[in-house]
Amino acid sequence: MTFTRRTFLASAAASLAAPAVIGQARARVVVVGGGAGGASVAHRLVVAGAGAAEVTLIEPKAVYHTCFFSNLHLGGLRSLDSIAHGYDRLAALGVTLVRDSVTGIDRDSRSVRLAGGGSLGWDSLVLSPGIDFVEESVPGWSLAAADLMPHAYKAGAQTRLLREQVDAMRPGGVFCLIAPPNPYRCPPGPYERVSMVAHRLTEINPSARILLLDPKKNYSKQTLFEEGWQAHYPNMIERLGPDMGGDRIEVRPDRMEVVIDGEAEAVDVCNVIPAQVAGRLVAEAALTDETGWAPIDPSSMRSRFDPRIFVLGDASIAGDMPKSASAANSQAHVVAAAILADLAGATAPPARYANTCWSLIAPEDSVKVGGTYEPTPEKIASTDRFISQMGENRATRLATWQQSLGWYAAITEEMFG
């Protein structure tokens, strides 16, 4: 049977209105992706839901390495083990774990297909698969080249590889980072990475240089990073923005060359962070628009195309919220509340969102940017904003660093139990 949006919306509205009935099988909530968004939803549903739903989390990896704090591994400040998390505690709390990938979503039969074979039915579906990379967005770069020129923008093996490459650089070598165009995961992430690599090189290879190629005119926390680089790593970092060819880059992975506005330059390490779109699965289920990201209802994170499906985290178009773990976790609270309200036949509390993005510029020198958000009919809109100030003293930056450690402990607890 072919799915049409009108017939679907009519049946979906009817099913949403029907609360769970005592004696009826528990509602099946399937969550795809065990990262910042998905794990947080699954955790919240079993903790706050008191058994109202049967919660299944589908995730191919046995161990999730957080992208957040992965730059600190590149800086030599944190082990990979310290950012690795398993799903045992979530299972103990009552989440059914399926270690597999979803290869397709059938909205007619309300089921997902699994790479390992078979399918799973759902009453509510939650999608938080994160991002996929746009190959050739930097000409010459594809996923096949990621062993030579890593992205390290999904943490784990790629993070380890990039750290090994930095450590093996010849004295006085060039580390090149190609930053992505907007919108992308973690707006300050590439610049925190430059900071952490600079810290590492200052310790082990002080004559090395960092070349930052950036298609964007401006970037997140720019003045704070520039001030920090000047203070901690003078003369090490050179940034070429679009006025200097930073938006006209090609790479030749086999020759370890970057071509800037037609001129080839040899580099020793090349970290390519490509343009990004919502995790492929979301587009394949026709839940994205022409931007490559998923439009959502700002009051609930329900897909604009299908109210039984929630899309959150990096894959969603979350208005003024950045693509961050902090944002995904905040959205997870709204999603879980909406699902539990559906099950109870009640109205969900008004959605409120918050975000903080931390960046470490040097050991104990941390800065933050963040805000609060509320839904409007068009988008999730910013209501308040804060940002670290230039020239802050060491005690303030140390306090920010300590807050970021507290945040890491809290969010990983809210994801994995």
365 binds ligand FAD (CB under 6 A): no
Collapse the DSSP code of 371 into the 3-class scheme (helix H, G, I; strand E, B; otherwise coil) and give the result. strand
Q: Which of 49, 75, 130, 307 binds ligand FAD (CB under 6 A)?
A: 130
**What does the block give as tokens for 306?**
């299908």
- Could you tell me which residues come within 8 angstroms of residue 379 by beta carbon, excluding any fewer than 6 positions away? 298, 317, 319, 320
Binding flag, residue 323, ligand FAD (CB under 6 A): yes
Q: Does 64 bind ligand FAD (CB under 6 A)?
A: yes
Q: Which of residues 198-257 bind ligand FAD (CB under 6 A)?
A: none
CB atoms within 10 A of CB 236: 18
Does 59 participate in binding ligand FAD (rule CB under 6 A)? Answer: yes
- How many Cβ atoms sit within 10 Å of the Cβ of residue 62? 12
Q: Is 320 in the site for ligand FAD (CB under 6 A)?
A: no
CB of 284 to ligand FAD, least distance (A): 9
- Chain center to CA of 342: 27
Question: Looking at beta carbons only, is 132 or 342 nearer to ligand FAD?
Answer: 132
Phi-psi domain of 409 (left: phi exceeds 0; alpha: psi -120 through 50; beta: other): alpha
Strand order in the sheet with 365-375: 353-362, 365-375, 380-387
Contact track, ligand FAD, 274-313, x by CB under 6 A: -----x-x-------------------------------x
Q: Where are the alpha helices (DSSP H) in 268-388?
A: 280-284, 325-344
Distances (CA, A) of 100 to 6, 42, 78, 157, 412: 32, 16, 29, 19, 22
Smallest gap from Cβ 68 to ligand FAD, in A, equals: 3
- State the CB neighbour count (10 A cutoff) for residue 254: 9
Using CB under 6 A, which of 36, 138, 272, 361 touches ligand FAD? 36
| Phi, psi angle pair for 161, to nearest 5° | -60, -45
Is 31 or 213 the residue whose CB approaches ligand FAD more closely? 31
Is 153 a binder of ligand FAD (CB under 6 A)? yes
- Residue 367 to residue 191: CA distance in whole angstroms: 12
Residue 68 is a binding residue for ligand FAD (CB under 6 A): yes
Gap between the Cα atoms of 193 and 67, Å rounded: 11
- Rounded to a whole number of angstroms, the minimum distance from the CB of residue 235 to ligand FAD is 25
Residues in binding contact with ligand FAD, number by CB under 6 A: 38
Q: Does 148 bind ligand FAD (CB under 6 A)?
A: no
Residue 324 in the binding site for ligand FAD (CB under 6 A): yes
Name the residue nearer to ligand FAD (CB basis): 190 or 252.
190
Residues 6+ apart with CB under 8 A from 347: 341
Residue from the set 12, 38, 362, 401 that interacts with ligand FAD by CB under 6 A: 38
Site string for ligand FAD, 82-121 (x = CB under 6 A): -------------------xx-------------------
Interface residues with ligand FAD (CB under 6 A)?
Answer: 32-38, 58-61, 64, 67-68, 70-71, 101-102, 128-130, 153, 185-186, 189, 193, 279, 281, 313-315, 323-326, 328, 357-358
